[in-house]
Every structure is written in C-alpha cells, then in structure tokens.
Amino acid sequence: MELTKRPRRLRGSENLRKMVRETRMDKSSLMYPMFVMEGENKEEEIPSMTGQYRYSLDRLPYKLEQLSKAGVGSVMFFGIPDHKDEVGSGAYDSEGIVQRALRIAKEKFPELYYVTDVCMCEYTSHGHCGVLCGHDVDNDKTLDLLAKTALSHVDNDATLNYLTKIAVSHGEAGADMVAPSDMMDGRVAAIRECLDKAGHYTTPIMSYAVKYASAFYGPFREAADSAPSFGDRKSYQMDPHNSREGLKEALTDVEEGADIIMVKPALAYQDMIWQVKEATNVPVAAYSVSGEYAMVKAAAANGWIDEERIVGEMATGAFRSGAQIYLTYYAELLARLMDEGRIG
C-alpha cells in the first residue's frame, strides 16, 4: 500500500520513541506540598489522602531527608496551627508553625527550596481565606444569615494587610519563595511592596493566580482543617466555566509583579496551563491538588487502575500543556518513575 505518511514509523522502538519525545521532564520541576502541625512525634495520616501525613516539627526532618534523597527539589509548606481566631493571627506570628518549620528545614536541609502558602484559611476560626466584613458580627446573626451573605463577606482590602504580614513573616523566617493562594484582588502588588520594604526583594512570588472554586480541594480542607464554616469560596475563587477570566487574573498578577503564575487544579484545567503559557512570559506552575490525589489512590486501592502509569500520565499532561513546575503529593513517586526512565 502506498502511504505518504506512516506515523507509526517513529514509534517502532523504545530508543526511537524516546529520541522523538516532545515533552521532557526532570525532578527539579517537582514541588511537594506538605502539612506541618504542632505537637511532638506526630505523623498523622490524612484519612482522605492515604500515604500523606501531617508532621510535627520534630518529625519534619525525616520527611525532608526522604525528599532530598529522592531528588525532589522543593517543598511547599502548609501550617496547621493549634489555635485559630477571626483574623488568623497565627499565620503571621514569628513563632507560628510555618515560621518554625522554615527555620528547622533551612538549617537541616538547606539544599532544598522552601515555598510557603500565604493564606488565612488554615488560621481563621471561620475558615475563609480573608477577614470578614465587620468581623465583630454580633452573635444574634445566625450562621444561616451569614451563609446567605457569605458571598460578599470577605473584605478584600482589609485582608491585604494580613496577607502582607504573613508574607513578610515567612520571608523573615527564611522562605525562599512565597505563594499567595487567597485570590484577593491586588495582593501580589501589596505583598511585593511589603516584601521589598522589609528587604526581601529577592524573594519571588508564585501567585495562585488561576485558582478555581473547586470540589477537588475537598481532601485538603480535611487535612488542613480549613473548610469554611459557612458559605463557600465562590466570591473569591474563580468560576470553572471561565477561561478568559483566568487570563485576566494571570495578566493582572504578572503586571503586579508575580514571578510565577500557578494554575490550580491541574487535571481539569489543562487548557488554562496552555493559555497562560501562551499569554505570559513567566514560568507556569500547575498544582495537582488533593482531590486528584485522592481519586487516584482510591481507584488504585480497588485495583481498578495502574497507579504509577496514571500518575505518570497526569504529570506528563501538565508538562505537555506547558507547566514548568508541577506541585503534587505524588512527587516522590514521580521522582522514582523518572529515575527508572519510565517517564521523563
């Protein structure tokens, strides 16, 4: 048969397939999100995220050692404080959980790169990512009423003050990079200005710019005990139906000085990874979030899928779409798959 094109020709052997591979990945692109908590000798498994733990600070070095040995280059810290209040004061306390974690981590494993999530939701008693308008809401207002008004309840501009305090305190504690995840308007500019004033002008900002109001965050909220106690996050996180709005967020944050733009979640939003890459000139990060991890784990536990191949494909998809950084709870597994030449 006369065929002018035989695409299969280039798929004939493993050597050839690797030679013509379009997407190449390496371990330095992997970032591992981890949860640090108060207490001693604690390694609590997160029920909805089998294989993922919350670590007390004395256990943290063991995990960092494993990551370092596996060749995972960077870590993102999330703090789980013992005490929460209306304005999330624990988040910017110099003795807060993330601040202490940073000091330990930087001292023991300086070869790793430490990024911190800058947000209030893990630290606020109401679980929202900002301060509420009139947070002295009198007690007569029922939760139900609050729920109804929740959409307008997080005060954007008041929240910025707190976010900048958090970012600066992370910088002081040694964060290599800060990553605001709250979705308030103007926060990148506000954080940049305060970091610079405090002398941290070399600390990059990775903005969770294209962050959707997603059910994929469910397991994380259990892990970090950060589910909103009323209402939802739809007045600040984005509507999954929108892509142009995502570009507006990304471009605005780049203008405000974001060094890296993140798209989150990854799996259902690969079009956004691609579009942000095309529309901006900064590196793009993709966050494969807790729900993505939980779904794969659950299906694998039932023997319904091949976990390693699925995880490899999900990562490949994110990189093929244009991500340069991939945040994933599967970082160690991916590092091994890359070492073994099974992906990459």
Catalytic amino acids? 211, 264
Number of amino acids touching ligand PBG (CB under 6 A) = 11
| Candidates 52-60, 89-97, 113-121, 156-164; binding stretch for ligand PBG (CB under 6 A) | 113-121
Residue nearest to ligand PBG (CB): 220
Question: Do the strands 30-37 and 325-328 form a parallel or antiparallel pair, or are they unpaired?
Answer: parallel
Q: For 147, how many CA atoms within 13 A lie in the half-sphere containing its CB? A: 7
Element (H, E) at 201: none
Residue 221 contacts ligand PBG per CB under 6 A: yes
Element (H, E) at 297: helix 290-301
Q: Which of 164, 290, 321, 328 binds ligand PBG (CB under 6 A)?
A: 290
Q: To the nearest whole angstrom, how small is the minimum distance from the Cβ of residue 246 to ligand PBG? A: 15
Residue 117 contacts ligand PBG per CB under 6 A: yes
The residue among 286 and 289 lying less far from ligand PBG, judged by its C-beta, is 289
Residue 220 contacts ligand PBG per CB under 6 A: yes
Listed residue (180, 187, 171, 164) closest to 262, CA to CA: 180
How far, CA to CA in Å, does 252 sit from each of 179, 239, 260?
16, 17, 12
Q: To the nearest whole angstrom, how small is the minimum distance from the Cβ of residue 32 to ligand PBG? A: 11
**Would you say 223 and 46 are in contact if contact means Cβ atoms under 8 Å apart?**
yes
| Candidates 67-75, 117-125, 253-261, 312-320; binding stretch for ligand PBG (CB under 6 A) | 117-125
List the beta strands (DSSP E) in the chain: 30-37, 43-45, 53-56, 74-80, 113-118, 177-180, 206-211, 260-264, 284-288, 325-328
Per-residue binding string, ligand PBG, 175-194, x by CB under 6 A, is ------x-------------
What 48-55 contacts at long range (C-beta under 8 Å, 24+ apart), as own/partner pairs, is 48/218, 48/219, 48/222, 48/223, 48/290, 48/294, 49/219, 49/223, 49/290, 49/293, 49/294, 49/297, 49/329, 50/297, 50/301, 51/297, 51/329, 52/223, 52/293, 52/329, 54/80, 54/223
Q: To the nearest whole angstrom, how small is the minimum distance from the Cβ of residue 66 to ligand PBG? A: 20
Residue 289 contacts ligand PBG per CB under 6 A: yes
The β-bridge partners of 79 are: 36
| Candidates 13-21, 105-113, 114-122, 196-204; binding stretch for ligand PBG (CB under 6 A) | 114-122
Per-residue binding string, ligand PBG, 223-242, x by CB under 6 A, is ----------x---------
Q: To the nearest whole angstrom, how small is the minimum distance from the Cβ of residue 8 to ligand PBG? A: 39
Question: Do the strands 74-80 and 43-45 form a parallel or antiparallel pair, or are they unpaired?
Answer: unpaired
Q: To the nearest whole angstrom, how small is the minimum distance from the Cβ of residue 296 to ligand PBG? A: 13
The residue among 131 and 344 lying less far from ligand PBG, judged by its C-beta, is 131
Q: To the nearest whole angstrom, how small is the minimum distance from the Cβ of residue 132 to ligand PBG? A: 16
284: left (phi over 0), alpha (psi -120 to 50) or beta: beta
| Candidates 83-91, 163-171, 215-223, 306-314; binding stretch for ligand PBG (CB under 6 A) | 215-223
Q: Which of 36, 97, 115, 129 binds ligand PBG (CB under 6 A)?
A: 129
Q: Residues in the site for ligand PBG, rule: CB under 6 A? A: 117, 119, 121, 129, 181, 217, 220-221, 233, 289-290
